[in-house]
Amino acid sequence: MRTVTSADGTRIAYERHGDGRPLLLLHGGLTRRYWDPVVPEFADDYAVFTPDRRGRGESGDREAYGIDREVADVRALIDAVEGEPVLFGHSFGGRMAVEAARVEPVAGVVAYEPAYLVDEYRKEADLAARMAARLDAGEPREAARLHVREVIHGGEIDDLDAWLDGWPPWPAPVEHVENTLRMNRAIEEQPLPDSLDVGAPTLLLTGSEGPEHLRESVRAVNEALPSGRLVEFEGIGHGGPAESPERVAATVRRFLAEVAPPRTG
């Protein structure tokens, strides 16, 4: 396990797989283990870096929190790799990829349903408050279930317990539910700006079965970018990269061939 130190002194842990041009995979509400099905799709051609976000996995944390601190963590990782990386983020990690690319030079950005809230959904968003109420009542498991129901299923699923029984990450999200709460609160408080000054080529991804509010969000992000392109995958949901790694990776590889082709020789 390798580490970098972020601007506020937080230790950020990461793994490296393979050699070549750098590709940073930024997870959302889980840990770096989210990317385990995806890493083999790229590690033969790229140096793939998979960090744990602060407060998760093997990374450190601080009591003070904000999106700016998460962006600083990504900046520390960018500084630690050789050359300008491509940032590939999922959900909150997708948002971090976009935000970091606004302040650091990168070769490209890939974001699968980045966690921005837009329009009426953002105005009415209360997931953080509902999770906090569950935590205050001493029910961390229920707070984690609320997050999963809303973010993965858009608040609509007939039998969440049955679904969770077949979802490999469960019940690990219960362990860092307080971290998830603060993340959701920050997402709700900070809206999508009218424009995103990202100079690097950007590929936005979404799935036809994902929550409608995130599908609306990814379209709004695409409109806010100067040079974004949007691809929708039929039949997969919010967990697209891990659900269908071969399908998603094939599209990402075509993008990488344009912005950061594998080194030869």
pLDDT tens per residue across span 98-112 = 999 999 999 999 999
Is the pLDDT at 59 greater than 90, yes or no?
A: yes
Q: Is 153 helix (H, G, I), strand (E, B) or coil?
A: helix
Which pLDDT band, with edges at 50, 70 and 90, does 158 fall under?
Answer: confident
Residue 190 is predicted with a pLDDT of 93
Which pLDDT band, with edges at 50, 70 and 90, does 264 fall under?
Answer: confident
Residues 58-64, mean pLDDT to the nearest whole number: 96
Tokens of 25: 């995979």
Full set of structural domains in the chain with CATH: 2-117+193-259 (3.40.50.1820), 122-183 (no CATH)
Is the pLDDT at 265 greater than 80, yes or no?
A: no
